[in-house]
A and B are shown apart, each in its own frame.
Chain A
Amino acid sequence: MNNLFRQSRLAISNADTCFHCLEKLPKYGVVKLQEKAFCCHGCSAAYEFIQSNQLDDFYTHRERHTSLVAKGTSPKTGSLQYSNSRWGHLDDLDCSDVMRINKKRVVRFSIKGIYCSSCTWLIEKALNQRNKDFTVAIGLDNQTISLEAFSEQASFSQAAACIESLGYKLELLTADTNRNRGDARKQQFHRHLRRVVVAGFGLMQVMTYAVSEYLDWSSARIAMSADIERFFALLSMLVAAVVVFYSGAPYLANAVRDIRNRVLGIDVPISIAIMGAYLPSALTVLSHGQGQLYFDSAVMFVFLISVGRLIEQGVKNKLLDFSPSLLSFLPDKVDVTRRDQDQESVLTIPVRDIQKDDRLIVHKGDILPCDALVLTGNGSIDNSLINGESQALLRSQNDRLLAGSKLLSGSLIVVATSSYHNSSLAALEQAINANTTAQLGIDSDQQRGRQFTKFVLLFSLFVAAFWFVYAPERLFEICLALLIAACPCAYTLADPIGRSRGAITLRKIGIIVNDTSVLQRIQKISNWMFDKTGTLTQGQPEITSIKALDKLSEEACFKIAATLESKSSHVLASAFFRPGTYDHVVDFQESLGAGVFGTIGGTKYYFGKGAWVAKECGLAPGASTITGSQSEGQSTVAVLAKQGTALAVFHITDDLRAESIPVIEKLKQDHDISILSGDNTAAVTAVAQSLGIKCKANLTAAQKADVVASEQVRGRIVAMVGDGINDSVAMTRADVSIGVLNSSLNFQLDTDLTLLNGDLRGLPQIEQISQQMTDINKQNKNWALVYNALVLPVAAAGLLTPWLAAIGMSLSSLLVLINALRIGGTSTLPKRRPRHKLKPLLKWS
């Protein structure tokens, strides 16, 4: 059996992808381990860890999309040691972050990067091998993990470190974290499931009992005694009561609420039909009266509706829980020095307790949780989270920093100029929330559904009046049949089912739909606006070529350059970053705007702009390969040299994504495309020209939103595609917001749609599926209206019995469901990359 898995694995990892994370290997700096290639030391370390624990079955269990985010992030290479410092406080027996449930200690984390069951398998295995102190429960759907300790000695910090060493990112969930919403949703799902099962069991019973009603006893061989008949009637009433008042409770409650608020929701006629079937029948039984009993109709009705809603709910549960807050990637706790009545004390406090005038030490890689002023030190700052500025900025004493800035290198001591809640980051998040709530409105289809409901109720009243005059004994039966037949269930089902189906189809090609209501809007989009860095371009400067000019090999030159650049703050330096150890550099210096130099192993190397390097090393200025054009288009040239000898020429670019051109080309045919970027004009124009589209550069987050709004005023439907926090204000303003999740960023934006694999090719597909979905939804709604229009006069004429009407209703809904299944069907869906196939016997996905 294992061999089969191994074979299937060969199919999914191939020569140019990282063995662990399946991402494309970088051109230079590939890490080799046991003849396997890895993109970085993080991944190789994760691989080593997995292998040293005999967990390599992970690589056979996983599916293709496992690679999406579960990238090795272990900071240490070689030997894996747990750093307990981050989670150390969890081991205190009275730590407030540890919950006590049934006297057992429980810690819950939200976990990023789990996408399929092989991830849960890996985590469970790894934890159980270390120590069997925990019960592990992993929620794939809401991305949480909870650890329950068996003993007081169990170390949460070790367990957490163990999970993080596998490459998953943990974030502590405390009682007040809003991620606990996931729990509430799960419980809601459970309640729903129970309601359906109770209704289903009840339906079976009541249908059986109802046989006594439907059979023609005069022709049967045995006669049914009146006692038995009454016995069945009583039992039916009892079971139906449970179904109606337990399973049907939400609809009845909704109907009461709707009537109080004077709106006509779909639950109003549903409740009238349920109660209309149940109450008179119960009265008949209790009063020993004669007449038709409709318990079976009532129960069937409740069952069918619950099933429909459960399907919808299930899809929603799976798809909705994907938008952690913008603040969620800040650290949980920070160390601050606080002055209190002339006494200074060092405190470890949660980030939200930071106050003005607290002093913080910011290390390389930290994200600043508040606005601050630099006291001492200097370092390079990446502001891309806040304003999309891709250029790193040097900051030193008395410079101001914004919350959300990331320190790329160096270390700083800063003093907070705002509390956590008054910081610019918090303000940005508030702006996003405000925009989100402003967009909520009533769907036009919902409105039409309500009008239809109103019409049905009025029509029933009219019909009832007619029958009251001409045949009062048939009044009840006919009104019941009419209400059931005219219930616009199929109509109201069409949209949600179509949307869910569309969302599922998109999920399969790596696009998460956070708000299904946008799916209808997508095909109306007239303007697409793109962020540049990280959206149209890869967002990571990359070395496109190394040309060795001397005896040293390209690999060796890369190593020297990487060693020098590891100390540099230049933005292009990140092209050289590979987590891991570097050679020792002495006398390192950076010449701003020119290059870096330092001594490695006794030789002094220079690395930077051609002209500068040529001058410093005394090279012949005529060597045009070296001093040639500094940047051709987007590509930057850097030269590595030692005294008297040029060693290598590097070309570095922040490339357009390979798929940007065809995608833009395709979208350009019938849309307005433009770039909104916070980057400098030159870089943006270069990209815009190569794509042949319009652009606006140097925009702040708010200005981007203004551009979107100005187009909307002109009646255009705008889609905003971006990858950073700096786009999020514009995104929430846009009619459709699409986030591109780069593998380098481990958080997800609060967008309508998220392209999980950062692959823009999804965009035309989204449009296509949206178009297909809208067509099928329209078809479904038309069909539902035609059905209702046809059946209404039939029922009004008294030609329809209630049970026939109930069957008709469920059949019309069923037809809508089956039709909706066509969304994402192969006939119109673009071809996907082939997934690895297993023998059918072993099918598990």
Chain B
Amino acid sequence: MEIIFLLIPLSLVLLIAAIFAFFWATKSGQFDDLETPALRILDDDGEADHH
């Protein structure tokens, strides 16, 4: 059972990483427009270098 002392803090580290990833996502505007990106895939003109 002693492995728990390692694994659980490890899971916490992962958790913190996930939270920071989420913070980054909100900051860089990933949640600002939830509609347009879903439509972009439907463009047929195949412009590759669309930002």
Contacts and interface: CB of A to CB of B under 8 A. Distances in A.
Contacts of A117: 33, 35-36, 38-39
Contacts of B38: 117, 844
B33 A57 contact: no
Given A135-B51, A235-B12, A57 B4 contact: no
A193 B38 CA distance: 21
A248 to B, nearest CB: 16
A61 B15 CA distance: 39
Overall SS of chain B's interface = helix
Interface string A102-144: 0000000000000011101100000010000001011111000
A205 interface: yes
Nearest to A142: B32
A466 interface: no
A219 B9 CA distance: 28
Contacts of B18: 201
Contacts of B44: 1-2, 57
B25 to A, nearest CB: 9
A104 B47 CA distance: 26
Contacts, number: 69
Interface string A188-199: 001001100110
Nearest to A55: B45
B36 A121 contact: yes
B4 A120 contact: no
A228 B18 CA distance: 26
Contact of B33 (A138, A201, A231): A138
Interface in B20-41: 22-23, 26-27, 29, 31-33, 35-36, 38-40
Contacts of A194: 22-23, 26
Contacts of A135: 51
A198 B51 contact: no
A88 B34 CA distance: 34
Interface residues of B, number: 30
A61 B39 contact: yes
Nearest to A224: B1
A225 B2 CA distance: 10
A198 B36 CA distance: 27
B38 to A, nearest CB: 6
A54 B45 contact: yes
Interface of A: 1-2, 54, 57, 61, 116-118, 120-121, 128, 135, 137-141, 186, 190, 193-194, 197-198, 201, 205, 222, 225, 228, 231, 235, 239, 842, 844
A-B CB proximity, top 8 nearest: A117-B35, A117-B36, A190-B26, A120-B36, A117-B39, A197-B22, A201-B15, A2-B44
Interface of B: 1, 4-5, 8-9, 11-12, 15, 18-19, 22-23, 26-27, 29, 31-33, 35-36, 38-40, 42-45, 47, 50-51
